[in-house]
Amino acid sequence: MFDPLKYADELIDSKQENELLKWLRQLNDEEKFTFVWRVLNVNPWQGCKLVKRSQLKPIFLEVILANGLVYGDASTVSWYMKAVLPGLGYKRVLEMIKAHIDIAPLCVYKTLYWLPWLYRNQSKKLKNEIRILIEEFNQKYPNYQPRRSTGTHA
């Protein structure tokens, strides 16, 4: 059995990581999520790497992204987006970000820098949706200057 706190704090080699992933994939969905969640709370970088490879169900990936949008800062929010993109897809991630525009503008603001870069190889339709989101944000929040880097509101 692996300890999520030990995993979060130690560097492990690829052999150890493969053993961890093999063990993790044998767990039921809730146990797998609990392990990954504990790693995320101690070490977001390690946790996000684990999210990508642990085969979590979409509902858990949505929880992880929602958490990352609130508690990630302008740099680390990209880790969360990259971690869940393979499992949720580009469209769902964008929908979740857009859903925050009226209730949690800081969550959206932190993603605006990363969205064009993360979606650079996607369809024109998705790229256009990003452009529209950026324009809508700028119209709703002209000269937006948050005083905090995490949370939901400036």
DSSP one-letter string for 39-107: HHHH-HHHHHHHHHHTT--HHHHHHHHHHHHHHS-TTTHHHHHHHHHHHH-HHHHHHHHHTTTTT-HHH
Domain extent at residue 61: 12-140
Residue 49 has a pLDDT of 92
Q: Which helix (H) or strand (E) holds 142?
A: none
Asked if the structure places residue 6 within a domain, the reply is no
Angle, alpha carbons 14-15-19 (nearest 5°) = 115
Asked if the structure places residue 96 within a domain, the reply is yes
pLDDT averaged per 10 residues, the chain (length 154): 84 87 95 96 94 95 97 93 97 97 94 94 95 96 86 64
Asked if the structure places residue 154 within a domain, the reply is no
